[in-house]
Chains A and B, each alone.
Chain A
């Protein structure tokens, strides 16, 4: 992954640090990450902030055996699509467990973790990962 500059990271902090998303008050659809325009309602849409609980279920998962640039030392790691209890799905790592102990449908909750470092002198990026709470 190309290194992200400070402004890109800074703009995304509310979403990456605490799952701040949005909701369309017209069609009641929740969005994560934030959308500035509701794709269902477009002009009729009314976007408002929405805080997500961080609870959800594993929708699909894999174990990444060789990591891309920035994740070389992390691999192997479990990567999942998590369906949040409010509806939207997102892609995130599942921590503290090996792949063989993960099942589709497992309950998970968000944890705050280091994601990666640009370089030994560069930015340290933080954000959401998930852990299994109930099998």
Chain B
């Protein structure tokens, strides 16, 4: 296997982007990533695009070829990758494997979702497809409801409180306010979260990531070629993925994601590090409870102590471990298929020291953690400066 590096990254402004469509956002992010590593285009010999539900959201399938076409990259082979909310992370892993195996020499990995062209309840139904259609959604479950069922168990088993969950949202907004690409450019208070209405108790509106439009792109090359194209290549030192039952009710535990625990163990082994070595991590906080479970499952805090750690500020910028410096899914926004690639973009910026007002000091090891559905897919990457 060859070593793999990210040489260029870019993203579109995340938000409710009424003036731009699916293709526009992809081109915006792609052009920035390709310019970032001074490519002309002829070098690119593979494309992987993560997107979850363009068929339901914009009536378009066959996204691989569409992206190659709109970016002027035909006849490069282009493949769409789908793993619900983990589509972006799994696309990155597909690109990683393509380079590591020697099959490709320069791969563009994209993630994109255009969500605001569709009414809210239809978006909710489309996203519901990440869960078990016949046995969860049919019974009236929504994604907030599924995570609420986890939150209620976490509260029972570990004494986690609504205030501790709210602290996650406050911290992620504080970070996204420092990120010019983020959906939300404003800070919020604990009061804002606590007084927002219940969507699925105990989860309130401000416990939930928003519906966002956006795209993110990373360019991958073999490490030995990377120096020719960029000053500071970022090596992907581990890529790991795991699966679990689609329906939450079929899993043994509802307060941890086994797919995350399994993928994390593998990622730490591959990278030859422990959780203590990680300086920044982008975790999948589609709901505040998801970030609390993630920082436990990834080994940064003991099981059951994630809520307390969040409330005590141990996950804030430049604290014990900087979690979701981009603002996470809550603050930066969650264009579903784009999220996994956006996480990698943020980690690359942090490792290069280019994260502007939210730069983490002495940042040497970064991690991304992208979850599909309520935990049926989990994909983790570890990165370091090459």
Instruction: Known contacts A62-B152, A90-B135, A91-B135; decide if A77 and B140 are in contact (CB<8 Å).
Output: yes
Question: Which A residues lie within 8 Å of B122 (CB)?
Answer: 69
Instruction: Known contacts A60-B153, A62-B152, A69-B125; decide if A92 and B139 are in contact (CB<8 Å).
Output: yes
Q: Is the CB of B249 within 8 A of A90?
A: yes
Question: Which B residues lie within 8 Å of A89 (CB)?
Answer: 249-250
Instruction: Known contacts A91-B135, A92-B139; decide if A62 and B145 are in contact (CB<8 Å).
Output: yes
Instruction: Known contacts A65-B199, A90-B249; decide if A79 and B138 are in contact (CB<8 Å).
Output: no
Sort A-B residue pairs by CB-CB distance and give the 8 closest, nearest first: A62-B148, A89-B249, A60-B149, A69-B125, A62-B200, A60-B152, A63-B201, A71-B140
A33 to B144, CA, bound (A): 23
11 A-B contacts, Cβ less than 8 Å apart? A1-B133, A1-B138, A59-B153, A59-B249, A62-B152, A62-B200, A65-B201, A67-B140, A74-B140, A89-B250, A115-B139
Other-chain contact of B121, A64, A72, A91, A93 (Cβ < 8 Å): A72
Tally chain A residues at the interface, Cβ within 8 Å.
36
Question: Which B residues lie within 8 Å of A125 (CB)?
Answer: 138
Instruction: Known contacts A64-B142, A81-B248; decide if A99 and B201 are in contact (CB<8 Å).
Output: yes
Shortest A31–chain B CB gap in Å is: 9
Question: Which B residues lie within 8 Å of A8 (CB)?
Answer: 134
Question: Which A residues lie within 8 Å of B156 (CB)?
Answer: 60, 104
Within 8 A of B (CB), among A74-91: 74, 77, 79-81, 88-91
Tally chain B residues at the interface, Cβ within 8 Å.
35
Q: Is the CB of A91 within 8 A of B248?
A: yes
Taking beta carbons and an 8 Å cutoff, which residues of B are in contact with A?
A: 121-122, 124-125, 128, 133-142, 144-145, 148-150, 152-153, 156, 197-203, 247-250, 254
A71 to B124, CA, bound (A): 12
Chain B, Cβ-Cβ closest to A62: B148
Q: Is the CB of A81 within 8 A of B254?
A: yes
Q: Check if A96 is an interface residue, CB within 8 A of chain B.
A: no
Q: Is the CB of B134 within 8 A of A64?
A: no
Other-chain contact of A115, B124, B133, B140, B200 (Cβ < 8 Å): B140
Q: Is the CB of A61 within 8 A of B121?
A: no
A104 to B254, CA, bound (A): 14
Q: Is the CB of A68 within 8 A of B140?
A: yes
